[in-house]
Amino acid sequence: GENVEQHPSTLSVQEGDSAVIKCTYSDSASNYFPWYKQELGKRPQLIIDIRSNVGEKKDQRIAVTLNKTAKHFSLHITETQPEDSAVYFCAASPSSGSARQLTFGSGTQLTVLP
Amino acid sequence: DTEVTQTPKHLVMGMTNKKSLKCEQHMGHRAMYWYKQKAKKPPELMFVYSYEKLSINESVPSRFSPECPNSSLLNLHLHALQPEDSALYLCASSQPLVEKLFFGSGTQLSVL
């Protein structure tokens, strides 16, 4: 099955700096890579996703890059703000017909210091 | 309606109790999921229903029994749980052939 590794487990940055979180995956059949943000006591919320036919995707201050050859993908947050503080999970999923089977990374606790 | 609604939000039960968790979505999604999340850990997949049929069971103990009565509802029946089953139980849904999973707010379960 798929195995997703995520680093670092904790990350502290000063407000306004950039944050980068990295993930690697093992299953070459995986073709969908979402990132979820989870604030304490709340649901995981999809913040950005990328498919394997795309190398990079941006949405305002958030970007994701994918290197299929190396089987790794990264989340980049620029101009960080205190409200970006949360746990971030990467995930990977192969194409599986009518349902998606996501395998999550272990999570990164991001703290943005004011 | 763009939400996945879960009830109850909190549940405390004894090891001999029987309880049910409920999940509802009205987005027309035909895949629904149960995940279990322990504190400071990622969600772990338990069950997947596709077109109201159980398609994936990740070797979950039989004290957890899922049910999908129709395309909008998903239940998780709980019986004879153990204290280690205490966790946040998340429901999610997605549209077939569309990747995005939407999560509910979860039920925080405590087993005494």
Q: Tens of pLDDT along A42-72?
A: 999 999 999 988 899 999 999 999 999 999 9
Residue of A nearest to B90 (CA): A43
CA-based torsion, A95, B29, A103, A40: positive or negative: positive
> Going by C-beta distance under 8 Å and a sequence separation of 6 or more, which residues neighbour residue B42?
A89, A104, A105, A106, A107
State the Cα–Cα distance between residues A33 and B52, nearest whole angstrom: 25
Question: CB-based contact (8 Å) between A40 and chain B?
Answer: no
- What gap in Å lies between CA B54 and CA B49, rounded to an integer? 4
**Across the interface, which of A42, A46, A99 has its CB nearest the CB of B105?**
A42
From chain A, pick out residues whose CB is under 8 angstroms from the CB of B90: 43-44
Residues B6-52 have pLDDT tens digits of: 999 999 999 889 999 999 999 999 999 999 999 989 999 999 999 99
pLDDT band for A94, please (50, 70, 90 cuts). confident
List the structure tokens of A47: 């913040």
Core vs surface per residue A1-20: b (16+ CB within 10 A) or e? ebebebeeeebebeeeeebb
Query: If you count residue pairs, one on A and one on B, with CB atoms under 8 Å apart, how many are there?
Result: 64
Check if A113 contacts B (Cβ < 8 Å).
no
Residues 9-48 of B with CB under 8 A from A: 30-31, 33, 40-45, 48
What are B93's two structure tokens?
Answer: 């849904």
Q: What's the rounded Cα separation, in Å, for the pair A58 and A73?
A: 13
What would the two tokens of residue A14 be?
Answer: 């000063």
User: Which two three-digit tokens encode residue A93?
Assistant: 């999923």
d(CA B15, CA B24): 26
Tell me the chain A residues in contact with residue B109 when contact means C-beta distances shorter than 8 Å: none
Q: What is the pLDDT of residues B50-67, one digit of tens each?
A: 999 998 888 899 999 999
Across the interface, of B50, B100, B103, the residue whose CB is closest to A98 is: B50
pLDDT at residue A14, rounded to an integer = 98
C-alpha span between B55 and B13 (Å, rounded): 29
